[in-house]
Amino acid sequence: MTLDDHLDEYKRDGYTVFRNYISTEKVKAWRDMMDPEFERLFPQRPEAPRAKIVPLLAHEKLAPLAKEHIQMPLMLDFAEKVMGPFVQLDSFEVSGFPVRDDELKGAVDRWHRDAFHNIETWKTVATMAEQSPRLYTPPLACNCLTYLQDMNEETGPLRVVKGSHLEYVFIDEEDEHKPHPRESFLDLKAGDMVFTHHELLHSGTWNISSEVRYFLSAYVCRIGLPHRDTFDLPAVHEILAEAWANNDRRMLRFFGEDSEFMAREEAAWARMVEEDKAALT
């Protein structure tokens, strides 16, 4: 599948899947390093649905793997295709979901749209239904979710409402933990990456397998928006030093370094405005 094919699918469905985004060996390396960490983390909050390590780039042992993962060119190539060259890191983390009782098989974690979404802005306004589906607009943020196990009934699939990035479809609070009539389960293998549009309605499913359910989440947003991860970390300083040495502008932007960018964007707007004026008859 080419990046253009991924883009078509993404615009239609609100997400696209990159198969084998990381290798089986890499999945194993992540899991082997994280299992002991999460064995320590889970008992600290036994009732919590999940534990997280964030920011991953600050973690003493995981930083080398994290540094490599966050710089994978394919993610930025595709992010630039869907958002334009506006891509900044918001947060890079791993979530681990402990093993739960069998009675939670198939149970919905919680339907939601991810941060920076705006489709629910006028949720209570009566004219929303007649405007649905709306025009496709590029996302302000995307979640790049790399799953570290095969996803099935036991490990708890990612469920999505396809096309909900274009629709004023809302889920009432009392239905947030119920299956949705239009839901699809994603059929993913360990190492696959799902790249979402921030308006996509989705939920995880509880983990009743015999192992921890993990995903890596690189949440990226438009440059300049507030970001959760600090960039004042040794791993980020190292990435930035290399980016400065190579004049790697997109990597600099990824961590919020942006001296020329706004002026270049304004120049692009000015060009379009001029084209429109010239086209007037």
- Chain contacts with ligand AKG (rule: CB under 6 A): 95, 109, 114, 158, 202, 204, 215, 217
* Smallest gap from residue 131 Cβ to ligand AKG (A): 26
> What's the 3-state SS for the chain?
CCHHHHHHHHHHHCEEEECCCCCHHHHHHHHHHHHHHHHHHHHHCCCCCCEEECCHHHCCCCHHHHHHHHCCHHHHHHHHHHHCCCEEEEEEEEEEECCCCHHHCCCECCCECCCCCCCCCCCCCHHHHHHCCCCCCCCCEEEEEEECCCCCCCCCCCEEECCCCCCCCCCCHHHCCCCCCCEEECCCCCCCEEEECCCCCEECECCCCCCCEEEEEEEEEECCCCCCCCCCCHHHHHHHHHHHHHCCHHHHHHCCCCCCHHHHHHHHHHHHHHHHHHHCC
Measured from the CB atom, the residue of 219 and 254 that comes closer to ligand AKG is 219
# residues near Fe ion by CB under 5 A:
1
204 binds, among Fe ion, ligand AKG, none (CB under 5 to 8 A by kind): ligand AKG
Residue 109 touching Fe ion (CB under 5 A): no
Q: Among the candidate windows 25-33, 94-102, 110-118, 173-181, which touches Fe ion by CB under 5 A?
A: 110-118
Tell the smallest beta-carbon distance from residue 114 to Fe ion (Å).
4
CA distance 79 to 31: 26
Residue 231 interacts with, from ligand AKG, Fe ion, none (CB under 5-8 Å by kind): none
Of 119 and 251, nearer to ligand AKG (C-beta) is 119
Nearer to ligand AKG among residue 95 and residue 164 (C-beta): 95
191 binds, among ligand AKG, Fe ion, none (CB under 5 to 8 A by kind): none
- Comparison of 83 and 160: residue with beta carbon closer to Fe ion: 160
Q: According to CB under 5 A, which residues from 9 to 68 bind Fe ion?
A: none
Q: Residue from 93, 114, 167, 192 that binds Fe ion (CB under 5 A)?
A: 114
- Pick what 192 binds: Fe ion, ligand AKG, none; C-beta below 5 to 8 Å, kind-dependent: none
88 is in the binding site of which of ligand AKG, Fe ion, none (Cβ under 5 to 8 A by kind)? Answer: none
CB of 77 vs ligand AKG, minimal distance in Å: 23
Site stretch for Fe ion (CB under 5 A), options 28-36, 59-67, 114-122, 231-239: 114-122
At residue 265's C-alpha, the angle toward residues 74 and 252, to 5°, is 45
16 binds, among ligand AKG, Fe ion, none (CB under 5 to 8 A by kind): none
For Fe ion, the binding residues (CB under 5 A) are 114
